[in-house]
């Protein structure tokens, strides 16, 4: 049981670190083509920033939901048990960039 909790705590700390790094250093939302790509640079007061909790946003790659050695009971993926991982990942964020841009988001 203690090993189970330690593993879950380590995963939660990792997720929090990613969320914090994204909050402190938002990434610009890239355009679809180089011709229409905005100048990349630091986020300014004119940007519309969208904060994402990666695990909860969108599952773009189901192959990474239960990695080797990972306790499969910590994964839910249905959105029904929010104490468990839901499978959202960077692939899901990248896939949804057009959706974010459509909302006027300029930085993630």
- Per CB under 5 A, 93 contacts Ca ion: no
Please name the residue that has the structure tokens 């790094």: 21
Interface stretch with Ca ion, choices 2-10, 42-50, 83-91, 94-102 (CB under 5 A): 83-91
Q: Distance from first CA to last CA of the chain, Å, rounded?
A: 37
Binding Ca ion (rule: CB under 5 A), the pick from 65, 100, 105, 107 is: 65
**2-61: contacts with Ca ion (CB under 5 A):** 59, 61
Long-range CB pairs of 68-71 (<8 Å, 24+ gap) are 71/4, 71/7, 71/8
The residue ranges of DSSP E strands in 1-108, in sequence order, are: none
Size of the site for Ca ion (CB under 5 A): 6
Closer by beta carbon to Ca ion, 28 or else 92:
92
Binding site for Ca ion (CB under 5 A): 59, 61, 64-65, 87, 89
């Amino acid at each position: 049981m203690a090993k189970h909790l330690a593993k879950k705590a380590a995963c939660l700390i990792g997720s929090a670190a990613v969320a914090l790094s994204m909050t402190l250093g938002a990434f610009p939302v890239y355009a679809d083509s180089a011709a229409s790509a905005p100048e990349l640079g630091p986020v300014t007061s004119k940007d519309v920033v969208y904060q994402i909790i990666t695990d909860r946003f969108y599952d773009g790659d189901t192959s990474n939901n239960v990695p080797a050695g990972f306790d499969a009971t910590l994964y839910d993926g249905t959105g029904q048990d929010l104490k468990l991982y839901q499978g959202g990942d960077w692939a899901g964020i990248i896939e949804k960039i057009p959706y974010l841009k459509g909302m006027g988001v300029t930085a993630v």
